Amino acid sequence: MTTKEQFLSEHNRLSPLNLKATMETLSRFKMEKPTLFKSEDWPINKIRRPFIFWLTSMTQIKKGKNE
């Protein structure tokens, strides 16, 4: 089982600066995508790709608001 903390550490280790995450970001992702979670497990191979897509879309929304 991968904890949220382990997922955060591994994701941030593998990611460029613009895709770094926080515990708050992960909590928001879990609230918005509950179907990805069957338990408290955060499997890197299952969750990371959808998380990156979601995070990228959130970044695009923020950029649109700032223009």
Q: Which residues contact 51 (CB under 8 A, 6 or more apart)?
A: 11, 21, 26, 29
What residues does each domain of the chain span? Answer: 4-66
Model confidence, pTM: 0.84
Instruction: Kindly tell me the number of DSSP H helices and DSSP E strands found in the chain.
Output: 3, 0
Q: Along the 67 residues of the chain, how does pLDDT read in single tens digits?
A: 999 999 999 999 999 999 999 999 999 999 999 999 989 999 999 999 999 999 999 866 664 554 4
pLDDT at 7: 98
- CB burial string 7-25: b at 16+ within 10 A, e below: bbeebeeeeeeeeebeeeb
